[in-house]
Amino acid sequence: MRHRMAAGSESVSTPHGRRGVALFGATGYAGREVARLLGAHPAFRLQAAFGGKERDGVPLSAIHPSLRGSVDMACVGLDTNGGLDGAVRALAEGGLDVALLATPEALSLALAPRLLDAGFRVVDLSGAFRLARSSDYPEWYGFEHGAPGLLGGAAYGLSEWSGGTLGTARLVANPGCYPTAALLALLPLRRAGLIDPTEAVVVHAVSAASGAGRKVREDLLFCEIEGSVRPYGLPRHRHLAEIAAQTGLVPGAEVLFFPHLAPIDRGLLCSIALRLRQGAGASAVAAAFEKAYAAAPFVRLLGEGSLPATADVRGTNACAIGWTCDAATGRAAVFSAIDNLLKGAAGQALQNLNLMTGRPETEGLPR
């Protein structure tokens, strides 16, 4: 039996010319946000949505009631009607050439090569392609990488720092939520040479429980997380490798990372402590941020002494950044806040897709 596409997905474009997109992992929190954003995007439309076999034929609006009236198409079970190969073949025959993967690493590793071979351009929201060396995956992710040949060609999709590479990229690794907030706060100072290398950078971050995914786990039940904040993924959270790789800092020596889960449904606050190089001060810090983000529509620079909160960016694709500097000690603290489901996942994926396809990066995204 030929693998069917989701209801309402007969053609690549609507009469208004919106480009069809396939979404794998539509049943999770990030998948829900991707579907919602695509439902209102002026240039793209959700054309096919995939989940586990138990979701086959179930409307997305039944899985995610917040999508009722906006995204009502049926989900397709990946394990039915031909499996992964059948799904990719049906999408290609239907004229699609863009896919977003909001899937676990193992499934992304299985899907991405098939989609790329079929001519798709892919944005992967998992950690399957975020590290450039296959040898790092056993240490940080606990598995041998199944597609090491793709790592060298995968673009790292921190949109503001992509350096124009996304326009030609066929595979984009969407950053994790913790690294997105940490790197947007750290990279301007790191690239400007303002961080004293003799003292470790300390990254303390607190994320909403939705950052752990929509899985049934005892430690993520409401009664386990409500009213409590706790360390998460320690002693060596996998996102430390990502932060270290992008900053060039040595994990565990030059950069320390302490993530936590908070009893909120969305949002992430990152607090970073560091020492500035001798002679660097508040004016140099401000200049570095202003230079880095003068043309970045989703970065809100609050300035020295004005500090962000997760409520400031909830429901947006923005990152708000503020900082403090102590002239007497030479220390600085940088704070960044994002919506972990948007700028930390689905919103950045759509921002990257916009840049990959020559669209304005702000198109279809809340600011």
Catalytically active residues, by annotation: 177
Specify which residues 322 forms β-bridges with.
Answer: 303, 335
Q: Which helix (H) or strand (E) holds 115?
A: helix 105-117
Residues in contact with 163: Cβ distance below 8 Å, sequence separation at least 6, in sequence order = none
Question: What is the C-alpha separation between 4 and 27, in angstroms, rounded?
Answer: 18
DSSP state of 195: B
Q: What sign does the dihedral 302-305-306-308 (CA atoms) show? A: positive
Residue 275 one-letter amino acid: R
Please answer whether residues 350 and 365 qualify as being in contact, where contact means their C-beta atoms are separated by less than 8 angstroms. Answer: yes
For 44, what's the count of Cα atoms within 13 Å in the CB-facing half-sphere?
A: 31
**Sheet-wide strand order for 44-51:** 76-77, 44-51, 19-24, 98-101, 121-124, 171-173, 155-156
Tell me the Cα Rg of the chain.
20
Please answer whether residues 256 and 235 qualify as being in contact, where contact means their C-beta atoms are separated by less than 8 angstroms. Answer: no
Please answer whether residues 246 and 189 qualify as being in contact, where contact means their C-beta atoms are separated by less than 8 angstroms. Answer: no
For 365, what's the count of Cα atoms within 13 Å in the CB-facing half-sphere?
A: 29
Question: What is the C-alpha separation between 146 and 148, in angstroms, rounded?
Answer: 6
